[in-house]
Amino acid sequence: MGKTEEIRDRLIKEIEGAADVAALEALRVKALGKKGQVTALLKTLGDLSVDQRRRTGPKINALKEAVTNAIQERQAALEIEALASRLLEERVDVTLPSRPRPRGRIHPISQVTDEISEIFADLGFSVAEGSDIEDDFHNFTALNIPPEHPARQMHDTFYLSPDEAGQRKLLRTHTSPVQIRTMRSQKPPIRIIVPGRTYRSDSDATHTPMFHQLEGLVIDQETHMGHLKGCLEDFVRAFFEIDEIKMRFRPSYFPFTEPSAELDIGCSFEDGQLKIGGDQDWLEILGCGMVHRRVLEMCDLDPERYQGFAFGCGIDRLAMLKYGMTDLRAFFDSDLRWLRHYGFLPLDIPTLAGGLSR
Residues of this chain that interact with ligand PHE (CB under 6 A) are 174, 176, 215, 254, 257, 287-289, 310-312
Whether the Cβ atoms of residue 180 and residue 308 lie closer than 8 Å to each other? no
Report CA torsion sign: 324, 329, 332, 335. negative
CA distance 15 to 267: 89
- For 38-68, the DSSP string reads HHHHHHHGGGS-HHHHHHHHHHHHHHHHHHH
Q: Alpha carbon of 127 to those of 134, 214, 224, 258, 281: distances in Å?
A: 19, 10, 22, 24, 33
When the beta carbons of 8 and 200 are compared against ligand PHE, the nearer one is 200
* Smallest separation, CB 99 to ligand PHE (Å): 43
When the beta carbons of 4 and 157 are compared against ligand PHE, the nearer one is 157
CA distance 273 to 270: 5
CA distance 80 to 341: 55
How buried is 135 (Cβ within 10 angstroms: 0-12 exposed, 13-18 middle, 19+ buried)? middle
* Smallest separation, CB 173 to ligand PHE (Å): 7
Q: For 19-53, give one letter per residue: b (16+ CB within 10 A) or e.
A: eeeeebeebbeebbeeebbbeebbeeeeeeeeeee
* Smallest separation, CB 331 to ligand PHE (Å): 18
When the beta carbons of 188 and 278 are compared against ligand PHE, the nearer one is 188
Phi-psi region of 156 (alpha: psi -120 to 50; beta: other; left: phi over 0): left
When the beta carbons of 31 and 232 are compared against ligand PHE, the nearer one is 232
When the beta carbons of 40 and 154 are compared against ligand PHE, the nearer one is 154
Q: Alpha carbon of 216 to those of 46, 187, 193, 213, 246: distances in Å?
A: 105, 16, 4, 10, 22
Which residues are paired to 215 by β-bridges? 194, 312
When the beta carbons of 111 and 257 are compared against ligand PHE, the nearer one is 257
Residue among 78, 81, 83, 85 at smallest CA distance from 28: 78
A 10 A CB-CB count for 109 gives 18
When the beta carbons of 130 and 289 are compared against ligand PHE, the nearer one is 289
Q: Taking CB positions, which residue lies at the least distance from ligand PHE?
A: 312
* Smallest separation, CB 143 to ligand PHE (Å): 8
* Smallest separation, CB 294 to ligand PHE (Å): 14
When the beta carbons of 254 and 342 are compared against ligand PHE, the nearer one is 254
Q: Alpha carbon of 225 to those of 7, 18, 206, 257, 282: distances in Å?
A: 108, 92, 30, 11, 21
* Smallest separation, CB 119 to ligand PHE (Å): 17
* Smallest separation, CB 171 to ligand PHE (Å): 13
When the beta carbons of 21 and 154 are compared against ligand PHE, the nearer one is 154
* Smallest separation, CB 107 to ligand PHE (Å): 22
* Smallest separation, CB 307 to ligand PHE (Å): 14
Which residues are paired to 263 by β-bridges? 249, 286
